[in-house]
Amino acid sequence: MSIKHIIIVLGEPYSTFSEIIGNYLSKKNNLNKSKKITIIGNIELFYNQLKKLNYRINLNEIKDLGQARKSIINFINIEYKHKKIFGKISHLSSIYIEKSFEKSLEMIKKYDDCILINGPISKRSFLKKKYLGITEYLSKKTKSNGEIMLIYNKNLSVSPLTTHIPLKHVAKNINKKRILNHVIKINNFYKKTLKRTANFAVLGLNPHCESIDNFNEDEKIILPSINEIKKKKIKIKGPFPADTFFLKENFSKFNVVLGMYHDQVLTPIKTLYKFEAINITLGLPFIRLSPDHGPNFSMLGKNKSDPSSFIYALKFINDLK
Are 85 and 211 found together in one domain?
A: no
Are 189 and 243 found together in one domain?
A: yes
Are 194 and 308 found together in one domain?
A: no
Are 267 and 201 found together in one domain?
A: yes
Q: What is the mean pLDDT of each run of 10 residues along the chain (321 residues)?
A: 88 88 76 85 93 88 96 94 78 87 96 92 69 82 90 95 93 97 97 95 94 90 98 97 94 96 95 89 92 66 78 86 60
Are 290 and 184 found together in one domain?
A: no
pLDDT of residue 297: 63
pLDDT of residue 126: 72
**Helix, strand, or coil (residue 156):** coil
Are 225 and 310 found together in one domain?
A: no
- C-beta pairs of 171-180 under 8 Å, 24+ apart in sequence: 171/205, 171/217, 174/205, 174/217, 174/221, 174/222, 174/260, 175/221, 176/221, 176/224, 176/225, 176/228, 179/221, 179/222, 179/225, 179/226, 179/229, 179/258, 180/225, 180/228, 180/229
Q: End-to-end distance of the chain based on CA atoms, in angstroms?
A: 6
In this structure, what are the phi and psi dihedrals at residue 140, rounded to the nearest 5 degrees?
-65, -45
pLDDT of residue 293: 62
pLDDT of residue 7: 97
**Helix, strand, or coil (residue 57):** coil
Are 109 and 70 found together in one domain?
A: yes
Are 235 and 97 found together in one domain?
A: no
What residues make up the domain containing 42? 1-147+284-321
Are 320 and 271 found together in one domain?
A: no
Are 114 and 193 found together in one domain?
A: no
* Cα-based distances in Å from 25 to 155, 162, 238, 271: 26, 35, 43, 27
pLDDT of residue 321: 60
Are 18 and 118 found together in one domain?
A: yes
Are 3 and 129 found together in one domain?
A: yes
Residue 253, CA atoms < 13 Å, CB-side half-sphere: 12
Number of domains in the chain: 2
CATH code, 267? 3.40.718.10
Q: Is 199 exposed, middle or buried (0-12, 13-18, 19+ CB in 10 A)?
A: middle
Q: Distance between CA 213 and CA 90 in Å, rounded?
A: 44
